[in-house]
Structure formats: structure tokens, C-alpha cells
């Protein structure tokens, strides 16, 4: 497990820069339009990865109108902070087993927006894995499609995470809180 990072969090705060195009009719309140435009990009992939949540706008640059563009739209460079999921090679991710292949040569797992294919290679633990188990995987490759709500990850198996009885009980959520007593 050498060269593996030990952080299992998939979302990281990142500073990003993007161009936002504003039509002339929206220029009276352009900062609100920019925020709404950025919010529409949440829960989707772009060149930076999967944008989970826009946290704040740091800076709105000067607007530019291009000479050959007769729409009158103004383009602003916007610097903002967001929670981003963009796993890199050798990152270690904690995920849940969704499906085992028939011959247990690979499994499908998920963690948040990550759809993970886990490839086994002579691992003794694979026979004990079942749907719902928590495992650690090491990222081999990633692929994201623009405007899609998932990232595809290919990874190798690191280890199964043992869940103690206390840990399992802490995962229990009382779903009956919404029922009012008469």
C-alpha cells in the first residue's frame, strides 16, 4: 500500500475560475445571475471534476464583449470556491460494494458521485466480500463526462474495512422521527 494517500475524503475545497456569459437583459443584477449560473453547474462534472457545491464567489473580473459577437452578451471571468471531487491516481477511497461479478474477478462500488470498478489480482479477501461491505480502493484511472452527475473510476482493491458492532449501530438512523404522536 505504499505511495497511497491516507485521506479518504472525496470532496475538497478548491478555488476555480470559469467564464460566465450574461445576456444584456440580465446585466442590471449580474452578480445574482452569475451565482445562479454557477449553482446550475452543481452536481455535475466539468473540466475540474465533479462540482458538489459552490461555496462562495471570490472575484468577478471585468466584463468583455467580443467584437464579432453580435448578441451583446458580456463574458465575465469568475473566481469561486467549491467542493470538488476529482480523485487522482494513487488516491485511496473508502466505498461501498454494490455488485460482485459472477466469477468475483471484479466488483462495482460507489461513494458519492464516484462509480468505481474494482479490479482484483490474486487477493485472498475477495471471497469474503459481499454487497454492502465497505472497502478501501486505490485509484488507477478516472474519467468524467462533461455535465454528467457521476465520475467513473478504475481502481485496485486495498482492503476490506471491518465494521464492529458499535460502528454498525452508529450507522442506524431512526427514520420514524417524522411521525407525530397524537
The CATH number of residue 153's host domain is 2.40.50.140
Question: 164 is in which domain, residue-wise?
Answer: 92-171
pLDDT value, residue 178: 43
Query: From residue 41, how far is each of 33, 37, 67 by CA, in Å?
Result: 13, 7, 27
Share of the chain above pLDDT 90, in %: 64
Q: What angle do CA 118, 119, 125 make, to 5 degrees?
A: 90
Are 98 and 78 part of one and the same domain? Answer: no
Q: Among 37, 62, 85, identify where a domain stops.
A: 85
**Judgement on whether residues 75 and 113 belong to the same structural domain of the protein:** no
Average pLDDT, the chain: 84
Give the mean pLDDT of 15-20.
96
Which one of 20, 51, 85 terminates a domain? 85
pTM recorded for the entire structure: 0.77
Residue 82 has pLDDT above 50, yes or no: yes
Q: Is residue 3 in some structural domain?
A: no
Count up the domains in the chain and report the number.
2
Q: Give pLDDT tens digits for 134-143.
A: 999 999 999 9
Answer yes or no: do 106 and 69 share one domain.
Answer: no
Q: How many residues does the chain have?
A: 182
Residues 108, 166 within the same domain = yes
Amino acid at each position: 500500500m505504499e505511495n497511497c494517500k491516507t485521506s479518504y475524503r472525496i470532496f475538497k475545497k478548491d478555488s476555480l475560475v470559469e467564464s460566465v456569459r450574461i445576456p444584456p437583459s440580465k446585466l442590471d443584477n449580474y452578480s445574482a445571475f452569475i451565482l445562479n449560473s454557477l449553482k446550475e453547474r452543481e452536481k455535475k462534472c466539468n473540466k475540474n471534476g465533479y462540482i458538489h457545491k459552490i461555496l462562495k464567489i471570490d472575484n468577478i473580473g471585468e466584463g468583455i464583449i467580443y467584437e464579432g459577437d453580435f448578441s451583446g452578451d458580456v463574458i465575465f471571468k469568475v473566481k469561486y470556491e467549491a467542493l470538488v471531487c476529482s480523485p487522482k491516481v494513487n488516491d485511496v477511497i473508502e466505498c461501498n460494494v454494490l455488485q460482485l461479478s459472477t466469477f468475483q474477478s471484479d466488483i462495482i462500488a460507489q461513494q458519492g458521485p464516484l462509480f468505481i470498478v474494482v479490479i482484483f489480482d490474486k487477493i485472498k479477501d475477495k471471497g469474503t466480500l459481499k454487497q454492502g461491505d465497505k472497502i478501501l480502493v486505490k485509484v488507477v484511472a478516472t474519467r468524467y463526462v462533461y455535465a454528467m452527475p457521476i465520475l467513473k473510476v478504475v481502481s485496485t482493491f486495498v482492503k476490506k474495512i471491518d465494521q464492529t458492532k458499535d460502528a454498525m449501530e452508529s450507522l442506524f438512523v431512526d427514520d420514524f422521527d417524522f411521525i407525530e404522536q397524537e
